[in-house]
Amino acid sequence: MPYTVQGVVARGKGQEVSLETVTVPDPGPGEAVVNVQACGVCHTDLHYREGGINDEFPFLLGHEAAGTVEAVGAGVTGLEPGDHVILNWRAVCGQCRACLRGRPWYCFATHNATQKMTLADGTELSPALGIGAFAEKTLVAAGQCTKVDPAAAPAVAGLLGCGVMAGIGAAINTGGVSRGDSVAVIGCGGVGSAAVLGASLAGAARIIAVDVDDRKLEWAKGFGATHTVNSRETDAVEAVRELTGGFGADVVIEAVGRPETYKQAFYARDLAGTVVLVGVPTPEMTLELPLLDVFGRGGALKSSWYGDCLPSRDFPMLIDLYLQGRLNLDGFVTETVGLGDVEAAFAKMHRGEVLRSVVVL
Ligand SMILES: NC(=O)c1ccc[n+]([C@@H]2O[C@H](COP(=O)([O-])OP(=O)(O)OC[C@H]3O[C@@H](n4cnc5c(N)ncnc54)[C@H](O)[C@@H]3O)[C@@H](O)[C@H]2O)c1
Ligand SMILES: [Zn+2]
Ligand SMILES: [Zn+2]
């Protein structure tokens, strides 16, 4: 019997989200239905409802979630009802050119559920990032479920499903931050603060948090920032250079997703340093840079999709570090809210009042 649940749906570009009745099919071969226990509100959900990702409305939003497995479909192994899982949007295929070269964190053919969840009238929903977890239950590919230690509260664990993993991974995986490095992070929301935390975990000696909001800068200190720069008041590039002996940081992580902050990242970086773009731009944005500077400054310009994470490797490892008291994941949960509060959470995110609002079910 299909499940009838409540879920948060974006019906059209820029329209306020609404709570709708959603039909979740029984899991088919290779699929699983998950009881969502918690789901963080990520800026990418807002991008979806503003039409910044694609036009495949209506979207079932939410993609930063943890829960327990309700049921699995035929042929699913290694996952059973009751398992505590974090949902991921990188269920690696094992067959594509990236997987076959031993780089599954780039997998180009990740798995999602084959069946569709629908509105009561049968309209097919597009689940955000193939997850759709602002709902009491959701249908995913079994590979999108990563088992973790149930001792971590779902509101905290779920954050690893997107933003916090993207930020930590931007530092430790994509940026390759290591002991003694200088790191600057531009934009210290949920993702950028996680990049600060990742840099700290990796042993960076100097971690410069840059934001236009003093609240975010204060929070960034709690994740390991050694210096903060309010770029509304101070030139970010000059400030980062000053704090790094006049040279710029070894790794600069851009966690806003705008051309002007990308340029700051580009020039706030030392020669032969690395820029990591983890913020997601929108389709109309373009970037202009002198090609001579691209050449002359050397180094690497990288983008970080989901922190180049491998969920099966990284989620359990980070949960273990958290349970040992070595990773401040609690600091990301600014508030817990209900399923009906997502629109209000978007507004708080917009006003900069939260790192993460987490929907708890
Ligand atoms: N690459 C990925 O896999 C991935 C995953 C999740 C989210 N994201 C993206 O990361 C970005 C950040 O997401 P979030 O959830 O942290 O959002 P957020 O709204 O919580 O944080 C954005 C931060 O940027 C700051 N900011 C805005 N304009 C700025 C400027 N000009 N200079 C400096 N700081 C500025 C804001 O004050 C805020 O603190 C979004 O674009 C989101 O879509 C990417
Ligand atoms: Zn693959
Ligand atoms: Zn996200």
Element (H, E) at 220: helix 214-222
Q: Please indicate whether residue 231, judged by its CB atom, sits closer than 6 Å to ligand 1.
A: yes
* Number of Cβ within a 10 Å radius of residue 160: 35
Q: pLDDT at position 331, please? A: 96
Q: Is this prediction's pTM over 0.75?
A: yes
* Whole-angstrom distance, CA of residue 48 vs CA of residue 54: 7
Q: pLDDT at position 20, please? A: 98
Q: Please indicate whether residue 130, judged by its CB atom, sits closer than 6 Å to ligand 1.
A: no
Q: Please indicate whether residue 43, judged by its CB atom, sits closer than 6 Å to ligand 1.
A: yes
Q: Quick one: 167-304 is in which CATH superfamily?
A: NAD(P)-binding Rossmann-like Domain (3.40.50.720)
CATH code 3.90.180.10 for 3-161+328-360: yes
Q: Are the C-beta atoms of residues 253 and 278 closer than 8 Å to each other?
A: yes
Q: Please indicate whether residue 241, judged by its CB atom, sits closer than 6 Å to ligand 1.
A: no
Q: pLDDT at position 265, please? A: 98
* Ion ligand 2 residues within 5 Å by Cβ: 93, 96, 99, 107, 109
Q: pLDDT at position 70, please? A: 98
Residue type at position 144: Q
For 278-334, write each residue's pLDDT tens digit.
Answer: 999 988 999 999 999 999 999 999 999 999 999 999 999 999 999 999 999 999 999
Q: Please indicate whether residue 42, judged by its CB atom, sits closer than 6 Å to ligand 1.
A: yes
Spans of all domains in the chain: 3-161+328-360, 167-304
Question: If you measure from the C-alpha of residue 47 to the centroid of ligand 3, how many angstroms do you get, rounded to a whole number?
Answer: 10
Q: pLDDT at position 204, please? A: 98
Q: Where are the beta strands (DSSP E) in 182-327?
A: 182-186, 206-211, 227-230, 249-254, 269-277, 300-303
Mutate which of 44, 47, 90, 110 to test ligand 1's pocket (most atoms within 8 Å of Cβ)? 44
- Quick one: which atom of ligand 1 is closest to the CA of 194? 16
Q: Please indicate whether residue 236, judged by its CB atom, sits closer than 6 Å to ligand 1.
A: no
Q: Please indicate whether residue 91, judged by its CB atom, sits closer than 6 Å to ligand 1.
A: no
Question: If you measure from the C-alpha of residue 82 to the centroid of ligand 2, how many angstroms do you get, rounded to a whole number?
Answer: 28
Q: pLDDT at position 345, please? A: 98
* Whole-angstrom distance, CA of residue 344 vs CA of residue 55: 23
> Residue 109: nearest ligand to its CA?
2
Question: If you measure from the C-alpha of residue 105 to the centroid of ligand 2, how many angstroms do you get, rounded to a whole number?
Answer: 8
Nearest-CA residue for atom 33 of ligand 1: 211
pLDDT, mean of each 10-residue run, the chain (361 residues): 97 97 98 98 94 95 98 98 98 97 97 98 98 98 98 97 98 98 98 98 98 97 98 98 98 98 98 97 95 98 98 98 97 97 96 96 96
User: What is the bridge-based pairing of β-strands 18-24 and 59-60?
Assistant: unpaired
* Whole-angstrom distance, CA of residue 355 vs CA of residue 163: 10
Interior/surface letters 245-265, b for 16+ CB within 10 angstroms, e for the rest:
eeebbbbbbbbbbbeebbbbb
Q: pLDDT at position 5, please? A: 98
Nearest-CA residue for atom 21 of ligand 1: 189
Q: Please indicate whether residue 166, judged by its CB atom, sits closer than 6 Å to ligand 1.
A: yes
Q: Please indicate whether residue 173, judged by its CB atom, sits closer than 6 Å to ligand 1.
A: no
Cis peptide before 259 (omega within 30 of 0): no
